Amino acid sequence: MALANHFYQNLAGSYLFSEIAKRVNKYSAENPDKKIIRLGIGDVTKPLPPSVIAALHKAVDEQATAEGFRGYGPEQGYDFLRETIVNDCFAQFGFEKDEIFVSDGAKSDIGNFQELFDISCKVAITDPVYPVYADSNVMAGRAEAQKDGRFQGIIYLSCTSENNFVPELPKERPDIIYLCYPNNPTGTVLTKEQLKIWVDYARANESIILFDSAYEAFIRTPGIPHSIYEIEGAKECAVEFRSYSKIAGFTGLRCGYVVIPRNLSLKTKNGGSAALRDLWLRRQTTKYNGTPYVVQRAAQAVHGEQGKKEVKELIDAYLLNAKHIREGFANMGLTVYGGVDAPYVWLKLPINDSWKFFDELLNQVNIVGTPGQGFGLCGEGYFRLTAFGSYENTLEAVERLKKFKF
Amino acid sequence: MALANHFYQNLAGSYLFSEIAKRVNKYSAENPDKKIIRLGIGDVTKPLPPSVIAALHKAVDEQATAEGFRGYGPEQGYDFLRETIVNDCFAQFGFEKDEIFVSDGAKSDIGNFQELFDISCKVAITDPVYPVYADSNVMAGRAEAQKDGRFQGIIYLSCTSENNFVPELPKERPDIIYLCYPNNPTGTVLTKEQLKIWVDYARANESIILFDSAYEAFIRTPGIPHSIYEIEGAKECAVEFRSYSKIAGFTGLRCGYVVIPRNLSLKTKNGGSAALRDLWLRRQTTKYNGTPYVVQRAAQAVHGEQGKKEVKELIDAYLLNAKHIREGFANMGLTVYGGVDAPYVWLKLPINDSWKFFDELLNQVNIVGTPGQGFGLCGEGYFRLTAFGSYENTLEAVERLKKFKF
């Protein structure tokens, strides 16, 4: 019998959201009359904005005619979208369109990107963290399971209320540093000064920062960096991942992109160097066949004047939800973080058992959240709520909280 | 500086189709008045069929309303599509919907699937071959470059006019066997008896066959197997990859799927076994976020009564092109293969230099094809033409051939 990739055996038994789904399904089956409000998984609920819908219909009509039909597109994305992105967001930092690589979403990009690095590379992640950063590296063989649920070979950067969720520089040098701001799951942000410490560190240590800015559009506080390239020197050490999922409701439409500075390189075993951009292009041309044309037209519409207006309304609505959730739990006497420049509210629990809190919240008031433990050791004792529900459901959830005893 | 995945250094310098594009662009720039007919890359040219367009518009409209909106879908595909696929194509072999995994296309699936196997697994591929089979394994470290353009560590199964393009069983046992029928690039097919030899071999040797049937809809000869599961015992040894790209014009829309029999397993290092289906689900839930909802609705429409009628018309038209191409080159005195149950025509050249033939065909009559050498050592001396051009262009190409001297 052929041998399985044994690195897969190092993964934890169950993926966080599958476990949540299992518990919710069980409760639902046993209590079919209860209306469950889901503030757990980070999925949006509002429909696609009108500009996006119009762009989709138009692109579909093009695909119906011999003249307008587009088959295989460039694996790295159509020029029209790469140009739109660079002009709208990254030309100000000196980028050009061939440093933008379009994809079917940030999860694919972030999951696959580690493959460009040697298996020996050391990885640093914050804790708590979006599970894909660690899991994709475990599957590649860079880390092995430990008894405490962490992985040997990964450098953990603890983020708790003690350090105000600002990770400290590691003692051991990592090759790859995953940072996500606004943060998932804590909903916290870094100031320019705080982010500059990381950029300076990465430059001094020749580390590569993989910066996940999927939630940048939620930033409302002036001065908070939307892109890592607002920090001087970031083009020498950082790759940035962006997504249309949370901004414009693309979770079911699938589009994102990665910004790879032209001069960013890795060293090769023979003593030379390889441009990260070229490695990624090679990966994508071999194992990916481009983002659907109709979806790329939809993404382009997000950058238009009307699209921006609609997107701002969408995000304002979600941020209003976040405000209600914050207040609802604060009124219970819990300490709340995040939810100001991010769609996530991070609760500090009175007990150190976030799955117990999950079960209580589900059983008592039929609200689904995400146990902090699912995001890492440092997430234990915390709980994530998302602002992506409908306004009515969010208000009802807050109302139900008044009856919640914990 | 962080170290690059050094296995990437084993890849050949340039991907086949990029090299073709480079040569064509150079010729075009130097001869802007010449009309080039592209019969090289396997991209379709006919617009999406009306049923597919209607399904897309309908799904886009659903995404515009709060009630109809769908965000994250299941990574393995929506039940509506998995059920449609299994009922239409695989229930006859006893499959159920949870053995079907929907994706954004066969290239992604085939490129990523090797990751489920240990790095030590031995790979067999036919030669000539679709480059992704070899390249994705090289990038994973299963093979190293040799001077002759082949990779050390890969078992090559030669397919030439001498064995009528039917690969012979290998002397050394492979863990993984890639087979593609109808074949890209040769356009040839295997009979049930010929395919059964491989199924029997894989069962006896506990090898896994990765069967690429992206072109099955082009089969017109009665009795030729459309699916490997038509062969007894194939469920014990084979995974099948399917795509909507060439069937229904989805090259720019992106949808495919893989069929993984429930009982197919790999052994694990600790002496146990892991279901291939579970490994793939874990890979997809970590590094993929599902195929766009609108695209899955479009794929569903392909299986409808009207969709099937439209698809048959599409393919009939391409097969008519193939017939003209076959006859055009045969009239030149060349021996032609394929093009009967496949969209590819495979020429046997009078010289052993397919890039020279490429350049002559481009320079003399402005037709772009694909040099057989790009598909492997055994492809040298052959040349691939595709039937995916428009009817008018194909006829014009055949007309131009009358003036072609070689």
Contact between A285 and B57 using a beta-carbon 8 Å cutoff: no
Contact between B8 and A136 using a beta-carbon 8 Å cutoff: no
Looking at the fold, whether A228 and A349 belong to one and the same domain comes out as no
Token representation of residue A9: 């055996």
Q: CA of A165, closest CA in chain B: separation in Å?
A: 25
Cα gap A330→A325, rounded to integer Å: 8
How many CB pairs lie under 8 A apart between chains A and B?
A: 263
- Quick one: how far is CA B151 from the chain centroid? 21
DSSP letter string, B49-85: PHHHHHHHHHHHHHTTSTTT---S--TT--HHHHHHH
Contact between A48 and B57 using a beta-carbon 8 Å cutoff: no
Contact between B71 and A45 using a beta-carbon 8 Å cutoff: yes
CATH of the domain at A378: 3.90.1150.10
pLDDT at A166: 98
Which residues in chain B are closer than 8 Å to A273, comparing Cβ atoms? 1
pLDDT at B149: 81
Q: Is B1 within a domain?
A: no
Residue count (chain A): 406
Cα gap A23→A3, rounded to integer Å: 33
> Phi and psi for B160 in degrees, rounded to 5?
-135, 175
Looking at the fold, whether A295 and A234 belong to one and the same domain comes out as yes
Which among A159, A149, A152, A163 has a CA at the least distance from the CA of A183? A159
Single residue among B272, B304, B336 that ends a domain in this structure: B304
Which residues in chain B are closer than 8 Å to A18, comparing Cβ atoms? 285
Where do we find the tokens 């029928």? B181
Looking at the fold, whether B223 and B339 belong to one and the same domain comes out as no
Looking at the fold, whether A203 and A327 belong to one and the same domain comes out as no
Single residue among A305, A321, A345 that ends a domain in this structure: A305
Which residues in chain A are closer than 8 Å to B105, comparing Cβ atoms? 289
Shortest CB distance from B121 goes to which of A2, A47, A107? A2
Angle at B348 between CA B243 and CA B132, to 5 degrees: 30
pLDDT at A16: 79
Which residues in chain B are closer than 8 Å to A131, comparing Cβ atoms? 286
Single residue among B304, B335, B351 that ends a domain in this structure: B304
Shortest CB distance from B286 goes to which of A73, A132, A279? A132
Q: Is A1 within a domain?
A: no
Please give chain B's pLDDT, 406 residues, in tens. Answer: 899 998 998 887 666 777 898 999 999 999 999 999 999 878 899 999 999 999 999 999 999 999 999 999 999 999 999 999 999 999 999 999 999 999 999 999 999 999 999 999 999 999 999 989 999 999 999 998 888 889 999 999 999 999 999 999 999 999 999 999 999 999 999 999 999 999 999 999 999 999 999 999 999 999 999 999 999 999 999 999 999 999 999 999 999 999 999 999 999 998 999 999 999 999 999 999 999 999 999 999 999 999 999 999 999 999 999 999 999 999 999 999 999 999 999 999 999 999 999 999 999 999 999 999 999 999 999 999 999 999 999 999 999 999 998 8
Contact between B279 and A4 using a beta-carbon 8 Å cutoff: yes
Looking at the fold, whether B265 and B324 belong to one and the same domain comes out as no
Contact between B3 and A117 using a beta-carbon 8 Å cutoff: yes
Looking at the fold, whether A150 and A206 belong to one and the same domain comes out as yes
Looking at the fold, whether B133 and B20 belong to one and the same domain comes out as no
Cis omega (within 30 of 0) on the bond before B128?
Answer: yes
Highest mean pLDDT among A14-23, A32-41, B224-233 belongs to B224-233
Looking at the fold, whether A243 and A284 belong to one and the same domain comes out as yes
Which residues in chain A are closer than 8 Å to B118, comparing Cβ atoms? 2-6
Alpha-carbon separation of residue B275 from A374, B63, B257, B260 (angstroms): 25, 35, 18, 9
Which residues in chain B are closer than 8 Å to A105, comparing Cβ atoms? 289
Q: Which residues pair with A241 in a beta bridge?
A: A212, A258
- Other C-beta atoms closer than 10 Å to the C-beta of B222 total 5
Q: Is B396 within a domain?
A: yes
Contact between B289 and A107 using a beta-carbon 8 Å cutoff: yes
A203: Cα within 13 Å, side-chain hemisphere:
12
User: What integer is the mean pLDDT of A179-195?
Assistant: 98
Contact between A72 and B283 using a beta-carbon 8 Å cutoff: no
Cα gap B259→B109, rounded to integer Å: 11
Cα gap B136→B11, rounded to integer Å: 9
Q: Which residue of A has its CA nearest to B60?
A: A53
Cα gap B298→B292, rounded to integer Å: 10
pLDDT at A66: 93
Q: Which residue of B has its CA nearest to A286?
A: B132
CB-based contact B267:B273 (threshold 8 Å): yes
Alpha-carbon separation of residue A373 from A357, A401, B52, B142 (angstroms): 11, 22, 44, 37
Q: Is B3 within a domain?
A: no
Looking at the fold, whether B87 and B235 belong to one and the same domain comes out as yes
Shortest CB distance from A269 goes to which of B6, B72, B115? B6
CATH of the domain at B135: 3.40.640.10
Q: Is B173 within a domain?
A: yes
Looking at the fold, whether B300 and B328 belong to one and the same domain comes out as no
Shortest CB distance from B252 goes to which of A63, A175, A207? A63
- Residues with Cβ within 8 Å of B163's Cβ and at least 6 positions away in sequence, in order, are none
Alpha-carbon separation of residue A133 from A195, A225, B275, B404 (angstroms): 19, 22, 24, 56
pLDDT at A387: 97
Contact between A268 and B3 using a beta-carbon 8 Å cutoff: yes
Token representation of residue A161: 């209320």
DSSP 8-state class, residue A168: P
Shortest CB distance from B254 goes to which of A273, A279, A292? A292
Contact between B9 and A68 using a beta-carbon 8 Å cutoff: no
Q: CA of B222, closest CA in chain A: separation in Å?
A: 30
pLDDT at B13: 64
Contact between B66 and A107 using a beta-carbon 8 Å cutoff: no
Coarse DSSP helix, strand, coil percentages of chain A, rounded to the nearest 5 percent:
45, 15, 40
Which residues in chain A are closer than 8 Å to B207, comparing Cβ atoms? 2
Contact between A3 and B267 using a beta-carbon 8 Å cutoff: yes
Looking at the fold, whether A354 and A253 belong to one and the same domain comes out as no
Confidence band, pLDDT 50/70/90 cuts, at residue A14? low
Cα gap B293→B320, rounded to integer Å: 34
Angle at A48 between CA A42 and CA A53, to 5 degrees: 155
Contact between B390 and A286 using a beta-carbon 8 Å cutoff: no
- Quick one: how far is CA A173 from the chain centroid? 24
Q: CA of B318, closest CA in chain A: separation in Å?
A: 14
Where do we find the tokens 């020996």? A120
Contact between B107 and A287 using a beta-carbon 8 Å cutoff: yes
In one-letter notation, the amino acid at residue A102 is: V
CB-based contact A241:A208 (threshold 8 Å): no
Which is it for the CA torsion B98, B99, B105, B109, positive or negative? positive
Shortest CB distance from A116 goes to which of B5, B118, B269? B5
Q: Is B85 within a domain?
A: yes
> Phi and psi for B330 in degrees, rounded to 5?
-60, -40
CB-based contact B268:A8 (threshold 8 Å): no
Q: Is B73 within a domain?
A: yes
Q: Is B406 within a domain?
A: no
Query: From the CA atom positions of chain A, what is the Rg in Å?
Result: 21
User: What integer is the mean pLDDT of A293-317?
Assistant: 98
pLDDT at B60: 98
> Phi and psi for B278 in degrees, rounded to 5?
-70, -40
Q: CA of B50, closest CA in chain A: separation in Å?
A: 7
Which residues in chain A are closer than 8 Å to B139, comparing Cβ atoms? 115, 283, 286
Which among B66, B107, B76 has a CA at the least distance from the CA of B296? B76
Which residues in chain B are closer than 8 Å to A46, comparing Cβ atoms? 66, 69
Token representation of residue B235: 């469920």
* Structural domain that includes position B202: 52-304
Q: Which residue of B has its CA nearest to A77?
A: B252
Token representation of residue A52: 């996006």
Which among A53, A52, A44, A43 has a CA at the least distance from the CA of A317? A44
> Phi and psi for B402 in degrees, rounded to 5?
-60, -25
Q: Which residues pair with B371 in a beta bridge?
A: B383
Which residues in chain A are closer than 8 Å to B64, comparing Cβ atoms? 47-48, 50, 53
DSSP 8-state class, residue A32: T
Query: Which run of H or E residues covers position A178?
Result: strand A176-180
Shortest CB distance from B252 goes to which of A41, A282, A292? A292
Which among B166, B131, B163, B169 has a CA at the least distance from the CA of B150? B131
User: What integer is the mean pLDDT of A95-101?
Assistant: 98
Contact between A63 and B53 using a beta-carbon 8 Å cutoff: yes
Which residues in chain A are closer than 8 Å to B69, comparing Cβ atoms? 45-48, 249, 252
Domain tally, chain B: 2
Which among B127, B155, B161, B129 has a CA at the least distance from the CA of B142? B155
Q: Which residue of A has its CA nearest to B255?
A: A292
> Phi and psi for B366 in degrees, rounded to 5?
60, 40
Q: Which residue of A has its CA nearest to B277?
A: A4
Shortest CB distance from A206 goes to which of B2, B63, B121? B2
Cα gap B75→B57, rounded to integer Å: 23
Instruction: Write down the H helix ranges in B140-181.
Output: none
Contact between B60 and A63 using a beta-carbon 8 Å cutoff: no
Looking at the fold, whether A200 and A314 belong to one and the same domain comes out as no
Cα gap A203→A172, rounded to integer Å: 15
Cα gap B103→B256, rounded to integer Å: 5
pLDDT tens profile B246-263: 999 999 999 999 999 999
Q: CA of B365, closest CA in chain A: separation in Å?
A: 24
In one-letter notation, the amino acid at residue B224 is: I
Which residues in chain A are closer than 8 Å to B56, comparing Cβ atoms? 60, 63, 294
Confidence band, pLDDT 50/70/90 cuts, at residue A344? very high
CB-based contact A338:A183 (threshold 8 Å): yes
Which residues in chain A are closer than 8 Å to B293, comparing Cβ atoms? 252-253
Shortest CB distance from B3 goes to which of A68, A267, A293? A267
Which residues in chain B are closer than 8 Å to A291, comparing Cβ atoms? 254
